[in-house]
Amino acid sequence: MRHLVFSLLLLLLLAGCKVYYPNGKQHYSTIDTTVQNPYFSELNEERLYRATIHFYGKDFTGMFVAKRISQDDHRIVLTSDLGNTLFDITISKDHHVVNYVMQDLNRKIILNTLIRDFKALTQPDYHIDHQNLTHREFLSIHADRRYFLTIDDQGILSSIEIASKYKTKFEIQFKTDSLGKLDRFQIKHHGIKLNMDFVNIPF
């Protein structure tokens, strides 16, 4: 009897949880295509960004570089203003290697968050499962994650929102310069107090 009551409660709880869509589920249709992520996609191209990280009321600044070093891999490096390496990670869609991480950041939850963020940022393309024509939005589903990609009026990727089945986790917003190069991007989290802002520094 107790098992039956528990099962009914669980069923009611799950039934009340709506699957998350940024603009509602209407207007989505099944599609089989690919959306390219043009940022950090050129092999061996290096761009330097001024990074400002807001984490639970504290601000950190430094220099950030993401570089595509092979067909599958990107190298992600963040240094402090004094030139000390905070982390150095090689990532691809399905694996990663931590080359170095400072002791204060060497915690599983922090590393997993950073790796997940930067995998989404640098993934060269997304296989699309559904399309929302009304909002120029595409949905890619991979490994229990839902990636909502928005394309602007010029056909340029303007944001990626990453969600679980029932709620949004974080989003990446892109701003390009007049040549279409990534001038600024922001990573905003919804479940934790972590936001990161990156502004290009020409060199």
Which of these ranges, 120-124, 174-178, 186-190, 199-203, has the smallest mean pLDDT?
199-203
pLDDT class of 15 with cuts at 50, 70, 90: very low
Q: In this structure, is the dihedral angle defined by the CA atoms of residues 188, 153, 43 and 127, taken in order, positive or negative? A: positive
Distant-in-sequence, close-in-space partners of 201: CB < 8 Å, separation ≥ 6? 48, 49, 50, 63
Alpha carbons 31 and 149: distance in angstroms, whole number: 14
Domains delineated in the chain: 24-201 (2.50.20)
Q: Is the pLDDT of residue 114 over 90?
A: yes
pLDDT per residue over 33-65, tens digit each? 999 999 999 999 988 999 999 988 888 899 999
pLDDT per residue over 174-190, tens digit each? 999 988 889 999 999 99
47 in Cβ contact with 39 (< 8 Å): no
pLDDT class of 1 with cuts at 50, 70, 90: low
The DSSP annotation for 133-202 comes to TTTTEEEEEETTEEEEEEE-TTS-EEEEEEE-SSSEEEEEEEEE-TTS-EEEEEEEESSSSEEEEEEEE-
Environment class of 141 (CB within 10 Å of its CB; exposed 0-12, middle 13-18, buried 19+) = middle
Top mean pLDDT of 12-16, 21-25, 161-165, 199-203 is at 161-165
Phi first, then psi, for residue 98 (nearest 5°) are: -85, 105
Q: What whole-number percentage of the chain has pLDDT above 90?
A: 63
pLDDT class of 24 with cuts at 50, 70, 90: confident
Alpha carbons 26 and 191: distance in angstroms, whole number: 26
Alpha carbons 7 and 116: distance in angstroms, whole number: 33
pTM score = 0.87
Alpha carbons 49 and 15: distance in angstroms, whole number: 45
